[in-house]
Amino acid sequence: MSEGGAVERAEDYSGAGFLGRVGGGPRPAVVVVDVCRAYLADGPFSDDAGRFEAARSSAERVVEAARAAGHPVVFTQVVLAPGAADAGWFAVKVPGLVAFEAGSPYGDFPAAPAPGPGELVVTKQYASAFFGTSLASSLRARGVDTAVVLGFSTSGCVRATALDALQHGFRPLVVRDACGDREPATHEQNLFDLDAKYADVVTESEILVYLKEQGAPR
């Protein structure tokens, strides 16, 4: 879509009552969704244009900024039983999920970003990091009010996690530069839809300023 067309679409949505802003609260946590080897280098879900690698690099900078400011960082990891027996119809719809069977190297974290000492790793079998996990309770126990969501893929697990963050009462911020997808149009359409209805989509530079300004949690 041309720049003019994008502006017209945004104006159309705004005029219909979409594209409101929730803003970030004073107690953010960064939720790193499925940044793993399956999407990078020679992984089965990688792309030829380096979009996932660019998103990984952005995610690394966001994670470093969160740590420097004293904010919690949570990682998610898909871990499936042999034969993806615990993934139900999701594994039927996406047979490639067998790449995440326990013991597969494709589920491993890259060198960065990767969990540091004391950082929570949430294992999951479905798209949302909140579905069937302790993520919401863990964030609430830390007093978190804002979920800064990034990772892979924009149209799948990032979207599902941002939507559920909203539905669990957290302010969802999605970092555009730190999200990756296989196809640019799919990436952009899902970011637009998230921004219109479910989350604030922000740039890496914006989130770096936000994390620094909030400082360490009180």
Residues marked active site are found at: 157
Name residues whose C-beta falls within 8 Å of residue 37's C-beta, 6 or more positions apart in sequence: 43, 105, 106, 107, 108, 109, 110
Distance, in Å, from the CA atom of 171 to the CA atom of 188, rounded to the nearest integer, reads 21
What is the residue-wise DSSP string for 177-214?
Answer: EEEE-SSHHHHHHHHHHHHHHT-EEE-HHHHHHHHHHH
Residue whose tokens read 């997808």: 181
- Residue 57 CA neighbour count, 13 Å, CB half: 5
